[in-house]
Amino acid sequence: MTFLLRLGSEFFGIIEETGEGITGFACGDTVYGMIRIGAFSDSRVVPATDIARSPERITALVEAGTVTPYVERIFRLAVVRQALELPEAGRTRGKIVLSMG
């Protein structure tokens, strides 16, 4: 299935591969960052300047299930426009989730 709209700006993940000349990061590092759009995907290619190493304590808490993201609201994909309006208006405190099912 191909979507015409790429969602998400914040990501958290593990580096699978680095490009030529990249220093300070290696495969297996846990990182986080923000990109303009398209963070909700299985993988992304991002510049090293757009990521930061995840603090070890936070990584351990997430992996242990101790820290759970706060979900403000879940929207059906059919009302994606309504879902996008909330953060744009600055009226959210938690994550906005789109349900595909």
> How far from 56 is each of 4, 33, 59, 100, CA to CA, in Å?
36, 15, 5, 32
State pLDDT tens for residues 5-35: 666 777 788 889 998 888 889 998 888 888 7
SS3 61: helix
SS3 18: coil
Q: Mean pLDDT throughout 84-101?
A: 76
State pLDDT tens for residues 43-54: 778 888 888 888
The predicted pLDDT at position 5 comes to: 62
Secondary element (H or E) of residue 75: strand 71-76
The predicted pLDDT at position 49 comes to: 86
The predicted pLDDT at position 77 comes to: 80
The predicted pLDDT at position 101 comes to: 63
State pLDDT tens for residues 56-82: 777 788 778 887 767 788 888 888 888
State the Cα–Cα distance between residues 40 and 11, nearest whole angstrom: 7
